[in-house]
Structure formats: C-alpha cells, structure tokens
A = this chain, B = another copy of it.
Amino acid sequence: MMQNELACDAGCKWRRLQQAMREIDAGGCLLSADVNLYYVTGRIYNGYFYLPAEGDPWFFVKRPVGLSGEHVVYIRKPEQMKEIFADRGLSMPDKLLLEADELCYNEYERLKAIFNPLCTANATTLIRTHRMIKTPWEIEQFRISARMHALTYAAIPACYRPGMTDLDFQYEIEHLMRRNGSIGIFRTFGSNMDIFQGSILTGDNAGAPSPFDFALGGAGAGVFAPLGANGTLLEDGMAVMVDMAGNYTAYITDMTRTFSIGKLPELACRAHQVSRLIQEETERIARPGISCAELYRLALAIVSQEKLEPYFMGTKQQAKFVGHGIGIQINELPVLTPRSKDILQPNMVFALEPKFVIPGVGAVGIENSFLVTETGIEKVTQAEEDIINLTS
C-alpha cells in the first residue's frame, strides 16, 4: 500500500496517533481528507483509513483500482465497512474520531450512521496537532522544497521585462516554478482560501483588502479570484512583493522576497529593514518552550517602537498574525497570533512573515520558513534578503 520510503515513517505516525487516541478514550479514527490520507499512508486515494486505538490500520479503497497489501479492502460505498468489520471480527468503537472540520456535514452524518458510535470527536484536531510536529522524512521534504524555492527565486530577476504588469510578471514566475518541478496544486486548510500558485503585490494594490485569511490581500484579476496581482503596471518607485508557493514536494515552504523597480522611498526601505530586524530578534529568542504569542508580541513591539503600526500586515485591513505552521497545507499549526496557545516544540516548521504595506509603493518585508530545533530555530529558505532592484 505504502511507498517503501514512507513505511517506517507511517508506522511511527500511527503509533503516536494511537497513543493520543487512548489518552482520550477514542476507540477508532476514520480519515478520508486527501491531506490526511497522504500523511498517514503516503498516498492519496478515494476511500478511508481506519486506525483502531490498538492494532493495525485498515485501508478501505474506492479508487484507484490496483492497490494491494495487508488490510487493503475495496469498497463501493462506505456502508460496506459495517459488514467488513463484522466479517473480520473488528469491534466498532464506542468513541469514533471523524474529521469534523474537513468532512462536509452530510458525509459526517453518513459515516456516523454506519459506525453508530456512542459519541464522536474531532479527528481534524487530533491529526492537525500531530501534523504540527514533523518527522525526519517530512523535514527532508521541506529541505528539498526550500532548495528549489530558493533556486526559483534566484531566477526571478530574469523574468522581468520593462512594461510588464504584475500579472505578466507572475505568469513568468509561475512558468519558471513549474519547470523547476512545482507540483502546481497549492493546498490550504479551511474553506474560502482560493489561491492559485501564490501572490504578487505591487503599488496600491498591495493594500487592497481580500476576503481571504492570508497575510496580505490584493484585488486579484477579477471578482471571481479576489487575491493578489490585479494588472498593475510595474513602474519606477514600486515595490514588488513575491510570495509564491514552495510546493516542490508535498511539503510547502513559504518564502517572500521584495523586489523593486528602481529606487524605493525611504519609508519603504526602512520598513523592509524592520522586517529583517523582526526576523533577527525572533531567531535570537525562538526555541522550544517559547510561546507563539510571545513571538507575535515581539514583532509588534518592534513595529510599535519604529512607529510603523499603520503599515504592518496591511493598511485598510490588517492581518492579526505574523506567522503560521506549514506542511502539506500552507496554513498548519502552530499560529503566531496574539492569543495563540501554541508553544514551540522541536520539529515544528513555521513561516515568519512580518510585512508592511506602503501606500503608493507596494508591500515590503521578507518571509522565511523555519525549523524548530532542540535549541533554537533554523532558517530553511536561504536566499538574498535585501530588496532586489529588477532594473539594475
């Protein structure tokens, strides 16, 4: 069933999940969201993964045909799981975990009716908490993505031609990403997070509010895609923020760099340096045991001292976070918000993105992806951090 290189990795994940299930007296956990199946089996299929609190997991597969292995059972519809459990002498759990934040209501109710447990609880919470701490194999995937992400960003200046709009520029970067092996698909958690391959922000469009919960907005190409580049002509004195996905493996690195058309005004340059300063100070204090709320407060204190609050994380609409966990989806745990309860732990991977919107100029600042080590944090996305002039 599994990719060979993942077999051990998956086994470790199952044991950790089972221990957590026993702690909350859950007898079983049923997963079917693509990202969760990939996490626990190393592949995406149409079907279900059932993990009992004790013993080996079961793989109930609708599609594709041709999978085989121990405990792989083909089904046409989920109701068949009931008879399969009976035939194999498997007991139905009294407390069943279902993906309450990922399954649609009807699917949840259907699965609940099949298993008919005494109670259900949220598998999404359990698995997102576990996905937060990465395994060695997952960390290696991030390193591969980070290398390709940096390689792509190094070639961004060659994508620029005078007279381009932000969209023209984005199309060239997207093309470069794909030729460098980007998988294209950009996975997000939650509804209403419509993003394509990433975001480019320049000029006044950088401050345009979007419906989505990303760090910054942008009007987008139209009302049907209200995020990012909107066709603004790249002109002298503009900052061009590039925040394109690092999805070169299933594990997405997040990295933002600021480019410019000519020289930027002093305020923009200063704000960019403050973003770098926030990163430096974060690198100085971040380590296992530090709270994510404290990292947010650190960033805000620096911003406040520099009197840059009106520009921080937007103008008209300001995001109330300065970073977020990354993984198979771009918005995993932990969250770096004022009220976050998350505490840094070894093998978490998160993106730090202190950004500023400067009216009439664009967005400035940097974003990098960090691995939490035993003693601190390690930057995995290594690339020039100064503002890069596209016209020089």
Interface residues of A (CB under 8 A from B): 3, 32-34, 38, 42-47, 63-66, 98-109, 122, 168, 170-171, 174-175, 178-179, 181, 183-185, 187, 191-192, 194-197, 208-213, 217, 221-226, 249-250, 316-317, 328
Contacts and interface: CB of A to CB of B under 8 A. Distances in A.
Contacts of A105: 98-101, 103-105, 108-109
Among A33, A64, A66, find the residue whose CB has the most chain B CB atoms closer than 10 A.
A64
Contact of A64 (B187, B196, B217): B217
Given A103-B104, A103-B105, A104-B100, A225 B174 contact: no
Contact of A212 (B63, B99, B170): B63
Tell me the number of copies of this protein: 2
A212 B43 CA distance: 13
Contacts of A249: 224
A175 to B, nearest CB: 4
Given A171-B175, A217-B64, A316-B66, A44 B194 contact: yes
A179 B174 CA distance: 11
Contact of A223 (B3, B191, B192, B223): B3
Given A43-B226, A181-B221, 8 more contacts: A42-B223, A63-B212, A64-B317, A104-B104, A174-B178, A183-B221, A183-B225, A187-B194
Contacts of A184: 174, 196-197, 225
Given A34-B191, A108-B105, A223-B3, A209 B63 contact: yes
B106 A104 contact: no
Consensus secondary structure, chain A interface: loop
A210 B316 contact: no
22 contacts: A34-B191, A34-B192, A38-B223, A43-B226, A44-B223, A45-B211, A63-B210, A64-B217, A64-B226, A65-B316, A101-B105, A102-B104, A103-B191, A104-B108, A170-B178, A174-B178, A183-B221, A184-B196, A184-B197, A185-B194, A187-B194, A224-B328
Contacts of A101: 104-107
Contacts of A32: 191-192
Contacts of A208: 64
A209 B175 contact: no
Contacts of A196: 183-185
A191 B34 CA distance: 8
Contacts of A195: 185
A179 B159 CA distance: 14
A37 to B, nearest CB: 8
Nearest to A106: B100
Contacts of A225: 183-185
A113 to B, nearest CB: 13
Contacts of A65: 209, 316-317
Contact of A211 (B46, B109, B170, B185): B46
Given A185-B196, A211-B45, A250-B224, A104 B191 contact: yes
